[in-house]
Chains A and B, each alone.
Chain A
Amino acid sequence: MRYEVDWSILARPELAALLIDGVRYTMIVAAVSTGVSLVLGTALAIARVSGSGWLRWPAELWVNLARHIPGVFWVLFFYFAFPELLPATWGSALNGWTSFALAAGIVALSVDNATYVSDIVRTGALAIPRGEWEAARCCGLSPWQQWTCCLIPVTLRTVTPPLANRTIHNFKNSSLCMVIAVPELTWATQQIESLTFRGIEATLVATLFYVTVALALGVWARRLERGGYRHWRGAGAVWRRERGELARVDSRR
């Protein structure tokens, strides 16, 4: 079998529009679901390291359940099965909503990514030395202040590089939304394939886009890992200097 590559189809306005819209939807899905999963994952992580069993056990149970279920299942679940869980009038209202596929895809990716975010944030929070938790408590800060003024800012610095890597995964996972016909980039390439039988050209363009963005995010993540220390101020940098890590990083530079 032979395949004649024909780039002119990408110049056809209706097909080019599919790809351009695809890029737009991919960015929307990836950005919003990453944002939501950061909030959701951090909340889950706080629940998992908190002293209260009422918060800890449900969060642990949920994370261990969700970690073992595929992302594409969540996408289908929120689109097809979730409306059935609601009262009939709400369910049909959701099904009639034109942006429902987009919303379901974003919720599904957020749920999927939040599990990994919570693992990363939990590891970061557990890496804070005990003395620092105790110091926050001894200063007479309320639990809310302990978190917002001391523990979250310190944790944020350790978890930023792994979170950046996770964001790359979530960006690539946005392609899963094609299964519920969210018009993102992967869906657009399949649409062009079924309209013109010229999938290879469109898929090549899409692959270039994904690879460029993923590699650029990767370079950014590596820079955070290496050079991030320089910009760090405050408690995080101080305890790291005590542990000799700052010296090691400086000598490498």
Chain B
Amino acid sequence: MSAELLRFLLVGGWPDGAPGGLLINLALFTAAFLIGLAIAVPLAVMRLAGPPPLRFAAAAFVELARATPLLLLVFWSLFLLPLAVGGYPNPLASALIGLAVHSAANQTEILRAGFAAVPAGEVEAGLAAGMSRFQTSIHIVIPQGVRRMVPAHFSFAVSLFKDTAVVYVVGVVDLLQAGLIAAERRPSEILTYYLAVAACFFLASFTITLAGRCIERRWSFARPVAA
């Protein structure tokens, strides 16, 4: 495999031409994760403490989005985006929207489960000690809930990164598509390219796993919270 093709797998035509390859996967992953988190926080609050109509709406969104395959979410945004804003179907934007919806729904569920796992006695103790509901949330529920959800959040991050590979279906030149193009150009080296693609995916997502383990160790319950 030539250095030129390896570069194509990693960054596509960037910086002279269109970015592609692993760079696109990393960009989509980062954007979808952060957008998802930004949507998930208010949704989780709505699900846990909102008035009944909001609670129901949030639950309905989460359940529907989680029950739909990611590929269909991407196809839906490919269909609906031009109807909403006009213009031609945009594969990259649609891929991002699909991934962001998937990520928002799953992160809401992780946040909800994490906060719900804080024992009710802890909340009652806070209230009994004279703290307000808000203070109880800030000082008791959130610090413990966040620590509880770290493992689930990182395993979701790994699966979201892997899921960015499905965007190749709508024609985004991500790592997988770049590998397929390269393999088509040199059919005799097909195994080399598949191996290279697998190695890139592995290294990138394994880095996320390692980061998760590192944070988990630091934030584990073994060490008391600094006051």
Contacts and interface: CB of A to CB of B under 8 A. Distances in A.
A190 B72 CA distance: 10
B96 to A, nearest CB: 17
Contacts of A176: 71, 166
Interface residues of A, number: 39
A68 B191 contact: no
Nearest to A3: B83
A178 B169 CA distance: 9
Interface in A48-99: 64-65, 67-73, 76-77, 80-81, 84-85
Given A186-B69, A215-B63, A68 B75 contact: no
A251 B91 CA distance: 52
Nearest to B82: A1
A73 B197 contact: yes
A211 B68 contact: yes
B154 interface: no
Nearest to B78: A199
Contacts of A145: none
A214 interface: yes
A128 interface: no
B3 interface: no
B72 to A, nearest CB: 6
A69 B198 contact: yes
A70 B180 CA distance: 15
B39 interface: no
Contacts of B66: 214
Nearest to A81: B194
Given A203-B75, A203-B76, A70 B68 contact: no
Nearest to A169: B159
A107 to B, nearest CB: 15
Interface residues of B, number: 36
Given A68-B158, A203-B79, A73 B165 contact: yes
A172 B82 CA distance: 26
A174 to B, nearest CB: 8
A189 B73 CA distance: 13
Nearest to B187: A84
Interface string A209-226: 011001100100000000
Contacts of B206: 64, 68
B17 interface: no
A69 B162 contact: yes
A3 B84 CA distance: 11
A215 B66 CA distance: 9
Contacts of B63: 215, 218
Contacts of A148: none
A210 B86 CA distance: 29
A73 B162 CA distance: 9
Contacts of A65: 202
Given A73-B197, A176-B166, A203-B79, 14 more contacts: A1-B83, A1-B86, A72-B165, A77-B198, A168-B67, A172-B69, A175-B69, A186-B69, A186-B71, A190-B75, A206-B72, A210-B67, A211-B67, A214-B67
Interface of B: 63-64, 66-72, 75-76, 79, 82-83, 86-87, 158, 162-163, 165-166, 168-169, 176, 180, 183, 190-191, 194, 197-198, 201-202, 205-206, 209
18 contacts: A1-B86, A70-B162, A70-B166, A71-B162, A72-B176, A73-B176, A76-B180, A81-B194, A172-B68, A175-B69, A176-B71, A186-B72, A203-B76, A210-B69, A214-B67, A214-B68, A215-B63, A215-B67
